[in-house]
């Protein structure tokens, strides 16, 4: 009887680990796809750290998976993501170039 309880506990732990790492894998893949939409130059000039976000996601995955999923949710709701995507939109529409020309033309007004 004790052997059966031990095997049942092992099976539950394996299922728990499988679900935890499954959620973590979903978080890692989603973050990888979403963050890859942002060009490196936008990351560089924004001041946000791509390496910092990746480190948090990878460490979260290594520490039993679920923290990576939570990190992906935090990324989804973060001001960093909103700001970076705003910069990407400006880069695509050309607003950044127009803003730069305006900044240069009005630099000495004050």
| pLDDT 10s digits, 63-105 | 989 999 999 999 999 999 999 999 999 888 876 566 665 555 5
| pLDDT 10s digits, 6-33 | 576 688 888 999 999 999 999 999 999 9
Residue-level pLDDT at 21: 95
Classify the phi-psi angles of 64: left when phi > 0, otherwise alpha if psi is within -120 to 50, otherwise beta.
Answer: left
Residue-level pLDDT at 48: 92
C-alpha R_g of the chain: 22
């Amino acid at each position: 009887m004790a052997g059966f309880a031990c095997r049942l506990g092992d099976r539950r732990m394996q299922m728990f680990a499988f679900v935890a790492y499954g959620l973590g894998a979903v978080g890692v893949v989603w973050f990888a796809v979403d963050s890859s939409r942002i060009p490196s130059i936008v990351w560089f000039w924004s001041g946000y750290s791509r390496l910092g976000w990746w480190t948090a996601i990878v460490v979260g995955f290594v520490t039993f998976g679920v923290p990576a999923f939570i990190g992906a949710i935090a990324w989804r709701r973060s001001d960093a993501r909103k700001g970076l995507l705003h910069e990407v939109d400006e880069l695509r529409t050309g607003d950044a170039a127009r803003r730069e020309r305006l900044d240069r033309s009005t630099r000495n007004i004050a």
